[in-house]
Amino acid sequence: MELARVIGTVVATRKHAALDGVRLLLIQPLDHEGQKQGEPLIAADAVQAGIGEHVRWINGREGTLALPQPFTPVDAAIVGIVSDVNARSLT
């Protein structure tokens, strides 16, 4: 699982039937210090996250298991809302 911040919503006029009722959100992956890491991506929202919230996300086959209908064709899914981050340097 990875950390990200929700930065927007995605509107799809057509999507797979298994995604009916599932929101698609735009997330910005973050590193362990909370800095942007890579490009934003679209993730299926399994936990009703909101814009600006920190979330845990997972990609691949495991991400599909968090959705109401298992094995829904998605690349990433939000699986948790992060209430607090406490990171310290290991150096």
The residue ranges of every structural domain in the chain are 2-82
Model confidence at 90: pLDDT above 60: no
Q: Of 88, 25, 34, which is closest to residue 57 (Cα–Cα)? A: 25
pTM (predicted TM-score): 0.88
At residue 63, φ and ψ (nearest 5 deg) are -65, -35
One-letter identity of residue 39: E
Which single residue is written with the structure tokens 């942007």?
36
- Cβ(68)–Cβ(21) below 8 Å: yes
pLDDT digit string (tens) for 33-64?
Answer: 889 999 999 999 999 999 999 999 999 888 88
Lowest mean pLDDT among 5-9, 21-25, 85-89: 85-89
- Cβ(5)–Cβ(57) below 8 Å: no
Q: What pLDDT does 81 receive?
A: 96
**2-82 CATH pick, 3.40.190.290, 2.40.40.20, 3.40.50.720, 2.40.50.220:** 2.40.50.220
**Alpha helices (runs of H) in 3-50, residue ranges in sequence order:** none
Model confidence at 8: pLDDT above 80: yes
